[in-house]
Structure 1
Amino acid sequence: MDDTWERVGTHRHRFEAPDLLHTIAVGPISRDEFALALDVIERHAERGPIFWLVDLTHLDGIAPEARRLLSERDARAFLRGIVLIGGGFPQRVLATLALKAVRLFWRHETHVPFAFLADEREALAWIEAERRARPARRGDAGRGPGAAVG
């Protein structure tokens, strides 16, 4: 496993081959930081959709402009699934608001599986189950919002 973390503001990202982007959100997320996170997702999904595991333990806000960015940049074609871990009630409320925005903006046929789980162990088990249930379809990433995911 690669232990190299890439920083985007106060947030960190680490790609684990073949298809897992692990993110630790620290502090508030601005529009610019969220745009850079989407760039990281797209870069790592060049060979096919990836899973995004986000640790919310230290999340301290998501700017409304960051949530609105989802209407401008549709990342579904790059994602096999999203799993959120950690955090208490405030972080889960913030994440729930962001996910409601995602559902409003992404009203197409493509469905990205998503889960809230307690910890990384549960998240990795969920991801492995998703891998078995829906094998990757290479070539889907980069095809735009209508591309099938998993």
Structure 2
Amino acid sequence: MPQRREWSIGTHHAWFESPDVLWMKIRGATSLEDAIAILEVYREAGSQHPVFLVTDLSEATSVDLKARDHISWNVRLEWFRGVIYIGAGLMQRAVASSMTFLHSVTGRPAIVQHFVSTENEARALIAKERSLLDNSP
């Protein structure tokens, strides 16, 4: 993966920050077409080595049910070192948590998710997670 790579998906924007962070800024609604393209970005960024996915939801409005289902059923745990949401509201937290619960009851591995308020908090969490993951047996 190059040092800096960027993607535009409708009103959404994503960029890769070396060595292992995929940033995603969600603006407005997310359609099924957006979800298909977003999932492809996840695959591209995480297929060579797992990444931290940081998604800023502070300007997100809604996610189409088919879009949510598409991502939920097609995302791969091995693409990620961790997932962090910035600015998630109560409904967004509930949806993310329900997706984790759904994966657990269907026997699929769940992705550990974190919720923070700012980019600085996300960066601090990544540093902490890196140290824990890199020092695990």
> Aligned AA for 1:105?
H
How many matched pairs? Answer: 132
Match of 1:60 in 2: 61
Any stretches of 5+ residues in structure 1 without a counterpart? 137-150
Distance (Å, rounded) in 2 between the aligned partners of 1:109 and 1:72: 9
Quick one: percent identity of the two aligned structures? 25
* Distance in 2 separating the partners of 1:109 and 1:8: 28
Which deviates more, 32-41 or 18-27? 32-41
Residue 134 of structure 1: SS of its match in structure 2? Answer: helix
Moved more, 47-56 or 108-117: 108-117
Q: What are the superposed Cα offsets for residues 60-116 of structure 1, whole Å, 9 maximum, x if unpaired? A: 1011111111453032111111101125xxx44134214312430354474432111
Listed as ranges, the matches of 1:65-80 within 5 Å are: 65-80=66-81
RMSD after superposition? 2.2
- Counterpart of 2:13 in 1: which secondary structure? strand
RCO (CA 8 Å, sep 6+): is it higher in 1 or 2? 1
Counterpart of 1:37, as a letter, is: I
CA distance in structure 2 between the aligned counterparts of 1:99 and 1:66, rounded to whole angstroms = 16
Q: Which structure dedicates a bigger proportion of its chain to helix?
A: 2
Amino acid of the residue matched to residue 20 of structure 2? Answer: D
CA contact (8 A) 1:70 1:101 kept: no
Shift of 1:31: 1.5
In 2, are the aligned partners of 1:38 and 1:75 still within 8 Å (CA)?
Answer: no
Partner of 2:20: 19
Q: After the TM superposition, which parts of structure 1 deviate over 4 Å for at least 4 consecutive aligned residues?
A: none
> What secondary structure, in the 3-state scheme, does the structure 2 residue paired with 1:18 have?
coil
**Normalised by the size of structure 2, how large is the TM-score?**
0.84
The structure richer in strand per residue is 2
Q: What is the distance in 2 between the residues matched to 1:101 and 1:110?
A: 11
Query: What is the match of residue 48 of structure 1?
Result: 49
Whether contact under 8 Å (1:70, 1:105) holds in the other structure is no
Contact 2:35 2:71 in 1 (8 A): no
